[in-house]
Copies of this chain bind each other. A is one copy, B any other.
Amino acid sequence: MNVAKRNIGLTFDGARCNFRIWAPQATKVQLAIKDKANIDLSRKDYGYWEASHITSIKETDLYWLKIDGKQLPDPASVLQPEGVHGPSQAINLNEKPSSDNWQNIPLKDYIIYELHTGTFSEGGDFEGVAEKLDHLIELGITAIELMPVAAFAGERNWGYDGVLPFAIQASYGGPKALQKLVALCHSKGLAVILDVVYNHFGPEGNYLHEFGPYFTDKYKTPWGKAVNFDDRGSHGVREYIIENAIMWFRDFHIDALRLDAVHAIKDNSASHILQEISKHTDLLSKQTGKPYYLIAECDLNDPRYISPVEQNGLGMHGQWVDEFHHALRVAAGEPKQGYYLDFAGISHLGKAYQDAYVYTGMYSKERDNFFGKSAQGHHGSQFTVFSQNHDHVGNRMLGERSSTLYSFEMQKLLAAAILTAPFVPMLFMGEEWAETNPFLYFIDHSDPDLVEAVRNGRREEFAASHVDGQAPDPKAEDTFNRSKLNWKLLQQAKNANMFQYYKQLIALRKQYTMLQTADLDTVKAYVFQAENSLMIERKCADENKSILCLLNFSSSVQQLSI
């Protein structure tokens, strides 16, 4: 696969277009351009269909694919102006703002800000994000992380129901607006991480099964049939996903991908799809001379995911560590239920500071298994930590942020725990001013049965965990609107105070190398059980110096003897 150019879908080459799509079971494939003559595609090897030097398609033309007469959106569409069920739109991705002077920043220096485009700003789109970048710069952030932007059904969604992974959600502004936002970020010194979902497709608007064997029943996932990465015909699915990962780097100048729930990607072939993504990303890196990073969400405590491909690793540069969050929240007083059940508070938090993973082979009650493996030998920059993210906030029935769960002082402690960690710290939008609006679960499917199923699913989920009250209606526009950040809060003394605190913490981190990502050997945690306190010693790798971080999770002043 040539990573230098777009290999799937519609590609502009000057005024002409090429088109290539995988539809192995089809007997006739056509491009149906609105108000123009259909173009027959020719069948090529391995189930691909192609047309070259097309002159009749102009930018912004609407088109469909006709698979044996059936009219469908292009699986590699980059824009669906009328939604996921509508026609695709011809967009020239080659004409983009230059980012040539941008060299990315080292992963070890990432300070990440996770944001949801729809609720981050009042406008709810990429332009809205652009307007707020100076706030993030002032805060000290070095990388923004966009929750998924792939086209989903309706206007409102967290992004994990995307069905067209190449299409940029129209209500966010589409591909051109994303290219513009990335260029603006780079001009301000900000890296951009994009959240991508390769483990499942959303429940509405997914037409991929009409094109080929995108799914397999070899494996069961929480979201139904697994994506086919190793069963018959998976070669086309693999190329589709590799091409997608490369597109973000090549055509959008994205700096890093956050790969959603890679533990749900099942692949027992000799070359795991993550290894292939890693190899192709390295190839592109060599061509452009810029580093690109792959950060996996992974729930397996298996360091193989973040080991190099040459060592039979899966080649991810980094991963999220939910266990750090769980231990931290229990230390902060979170009731031990659900996924907190396994966590002991400060002793586990101490372990997480030293070893990244808490469970490294011990018995986990929640999993009823001996779980995980030591990540010894890996660097702190390979682990992203947070005191809250979209999942932990939004998967609560009422979407409460830390701001409404913990005292002001405890919120500051949580921030300090993250921002002095030897890992890559990540904030969730608004936490820097203790935003009090919730971040709720919202969807905007058009299929009434599906909407009802989602509603019932939420109800049952919280009935099972005995939470009082009722889950807000995920389909209601109000649920979405209530989840928007309230930027006006920043003008209030308390919130401004919190913002200044975050700002100073980040400045402190930037000032002292010893507070940044580090070799885990240089981190020592001292647990003071009786005092519910933790002392983290951060040694300087070269000199005989160290910094001590004292974290007092109790409600009173403590005296610690060293």
The interface of chain A, by Cβ under 8 A from chain B, is: 46, 217-220, 230, 232-235, 263, 266, 268-271, 300-304, 307, 311-313, 361, 363, 367-373
Contact = CB atoms under 8 A, between A and B. Distances in A.
Contact of A312 (B270, B271, B312): B312
Given A46-B363, A219-B218, A235-B363, A270 B300 contact: yes
A232 B234 CA distance: 29
A547 B481 CA distance: 79
Contact of A268 (B300, B303, B307, B312): B300
29 contacts: A218-B219, A219-B220, A220-B220, A230-B369, A232-B368, A233-B368, A234-B369, A235-B363, A235-B368, A235-B369, A235-B370, A263-B268, A266-B268, A268-B300, A269-B300, A269-B302, A269-B369, A269-B371, A270-B300, A270-B301, A270-B302, A270-B304, A270-B373, A271-B361, A304-B312, A307-B312, A311-B311, A311-B312, A312-B312
Closest 4 CB pairs of A and B: A270-B302, A312-B312, A270-B373, A232-B368
Q: Is the interface of A mostly helix, strand, loop or mixed?
A: loop
A219 B231 CA distance: 13
Contacts of A369: 230, 232-235, 269
Contacts of A46: 363
Contacts of A312: 304, 307, 311-313
A233 to B, nearest CB: 5
Given A233-B368, A270-B304, 8 more contacts: A217-B220, A218-B220, A230-B369, A235-B363, A235-B370, A268-B300, A270-B371, A271-B373
Which of A217, A218, A235, A369 has the most chain B CB atoms closer than 10 A to its own CB? A369
A272 to B, nearest CB: 9
A230 B270 CA distance: 20
A233 B363 CA distance: 10
A319 to B, nearest CB: 12
Nearest to A263: B268
B270 A372 contact: yes
A218 B263 CA distance: 13
Nearest to A304: B312
Contacts of A361: 271
A459 B557 CA distance: 80
Contacts of A235: 363, 368-370
Contacts of A311: 311-312
A367 B235 CA distance: 10
A234 B363 CA distance: 11
Which of A263, A303, A370, A371 has the most chain B CB atoms closer than 10 A to its own CB? A370
Given A220-B219, A311-B312, A312-B311, A232 B304 contact: no
Nearest to A363: B46
Nearest to A314: B312
A46 B367 CA distance: 12
